[in-house]
Amino acid sequence: MTTAAGTALSNDGLTVLSEEEELFRASVREFAEGEVRPRVEHMEQAAKLDADLIKQCFELGLMAIESPEEYGGAGSTIFNAILAIEELARVDASVSVFVDVHNTLVTNAFMRWGSDELKKKYLTQMATGKVGAYALSEAGSGSDAFALSTKAADKGDYWELTGQKLWITNGNEAEIFIVFATIDPAAGYKGITAFIVEKGFEGFTVGKKEDKLGIRASSTTELIFDGCKVPKENVLGEVGKGYKVSIETLNEGRIGIGAQMLGIAQGAYECALKYTQEREQFGQSINSFQAVQFQLAEMAVEIEATRLLVYNAARLKDAGLPFLKEAAMAKLYSSRCAEAVASKAIELYGGYGYVKDYPVEKYWRDSKIGAIYEGTSNMQLQTIAKLIMSGK
């Protein structure tokens, strides 16, 4: 259906997309169904992303959605980025977060804080084949992100990094890392600086891969810096201003996580809807019972509410308007929605929902991380409350 304004109403409900956005969404869905879905089970069992699939993500431009055209990107919007993240998560959350982190965290940080020289060097590489990762978290630095202990020492013509990072998404696949370290622990957050580290830098190694509950094909690793030498020009932003890089980048990243959780919820819901049409009890399909219909209706309402929150936050970001509160709300609500919808899908499947032969238990396992990474639910509530109390 096309409106007078030249936009098209999405098949998913009330959310209005332009015709160009609809076409982009359809192309990503075709890729997700045709190339990702056949590989999901194998990647889940191997706990590793398919190398050919990674290559295809680059070839299709999914790794440079917002990157300017001059650096090999599409020069598009965060809205298109979250459409891609949503559609991929509808099929597999691991592929989705792989694309998400590369786009909404790493690429976004370079675009906002990188010098022309750094953009030309690294955004070009990240558009054509080199994966990015974002290294902030440490063993003693989670929600208290600025309590990090990784140190950076000025050695005259280079920086020397020493320390360890944990829970780094894309750790095994990445070749370009944005790493946060402090140049002066006594300075608190004012000592934090963002550095660009390449995989081959002396003194840098990727450590063990975590054995996780969900998003198992996505690599989550430790990073070890043992006197890692970083060129002076590889500071992203200003020395001592890394806290601004991290905060402002994560604000956009939370919209991406919201899109990932939305996709998980949508995928679980579609599986449940199809199953209740096929499953018969008492001589009729179980979706003919009002109790089941009501549960499906509740799931659909929660998904649509989530979609509107996520899309609204992305639209605000693209319009250059304040979006911090909306991004926090979208991430908080979407993580709750994904977990609740996936859990209900398991119940609608009955005993089959609890075994790995059927897809819905994976959606639930994949959903749980949404309340944890890129800011826990409690931290989102704190952000929302602070902004409400300040009258913003």
Kindly list the catalytic residues: 374
325 contacts 383 by C-beta, under 8 angstroms: yes
Q: How many CB atoms lie within 10 A of CB 211?
A: 8
Q: Which two tokens stand for residue 63?
A: 């790794």
Q: How far is CA 303 from the centre of its chain?
A: 18
DSSP, residue by residue, 148-172: ---EEEE-SSEEEEEEEEEEEETTT
CA-nearest of 137, 100, 222 to 171 is 222
In whole angstroms, give the CA distance from residue 308 to residue 202: 46
The phi, psi pair for 162, rounded to 5°, reads -140, 125
Q: Which two tokens stand for residue 379?
A: 């931290």
In whole angstroms, give the CA distance from residue 14 to residue 105: 29
DSSP, residue by residue, 342-389: HHHHHHHHGGGGGSTTSTHHHHHHHHGGGGTTTS-HHHHHHHHHHHHH
* Beta-bridge mates of residue 2: 8
138 contacts 148 by C-beta, under 8 angstroms: yes
In whole angstroms, give the CA distance from residue 78 to residue 89: 16
